[in-house]
Amino acid sequence: MQAKRILGIDPGSRITGFGLVSSVDRTKAPTWITSGHWSLKQEEMGERLSQLYFSVHHFITEFKPTEIAIERVFVHKNAQSALKLGQARGVAIAAAVAHQLPIYEYAPKQIKQAVVGSGNGMKAQVQHMVKFLLRLTENPQADEADALAIAICHLHSHQPWGIP
C-alpha cells in the first residue's frame, strides 16, 4: 500500500504555513517530512499572491503530496480582511487544483480536537502537541504548527471538500 503524503496548508495574506506528513495507514503514527511558513513580504497584494501561487506550485512539484488539507474558514468580523484571506485561500486552492490534487477541508474546532483533544485549545497547546505527535525536536512556528495540525486532522478523519 502506497503511503499518503498530506500537505496541510494554513493560508494567510501575509504568512502561509505548510506542513507535509506521510502515513502508511491510520494505525501508525504519521511521519513528518517537512514544514515551514512562507512569509510574503512584498507591499503589493498582487505580488504576494503571485509569490504564494508559485510557492505552493513549486512545493507540490518538488515534494509530490498526494492530498491537500486546508482549514475551513468561517465569517470574519472584518470584510476587508475576509477578502484578503479569501484571495490567499483561492490562490492556494488554485495551485492544488492545477496539479489535480484532491482537497479536503476541516473546521478549526475539528483540527484542534484532532491534536489537543478539545475544540477550544490554545495556540501554544497546538504547537506543543504537533511537536509531540510528530516527534519534532522543537516547537514549530505558529502557522507551521497549524498547517501540520490540519494534515494530522486529515489523517484521522476524511471528508470530501466543501469549501463554504
C-alpha cell read off for 120: 477550544
Residue 146 assigned to a binding site: no
The answer to whether 18 and 36 are in contact (CB under 8 A) is yes
Residue 25 assigned to a binding site: no
Residues with active-site annotation: 10, 71, 143
Nearer to a copy of itself, 65 or 140 (CB): 65
Nearer to a copy of itself, 105 or 143 (CB): 105
Rounded Cα distance, 163 and 151, in Å: 17
Q: How far is the CB of 90 from a copy of itself (least distance, A)?
A: 2
Binding residues for a copy of itself, per CB under 8 A?
44-46, 49-50, 53-54, 57, 73, 75-80, 82-95, 97-98, 103, 105, 161-164
Task: Please name every residue paired with 69 in a beta bridge, in sequence order, or none if there are none.
Answer: 8, 104
Rounded Cα distance, 164 and 162, in Å: 6
Residue 47 assigned to a binding site: no
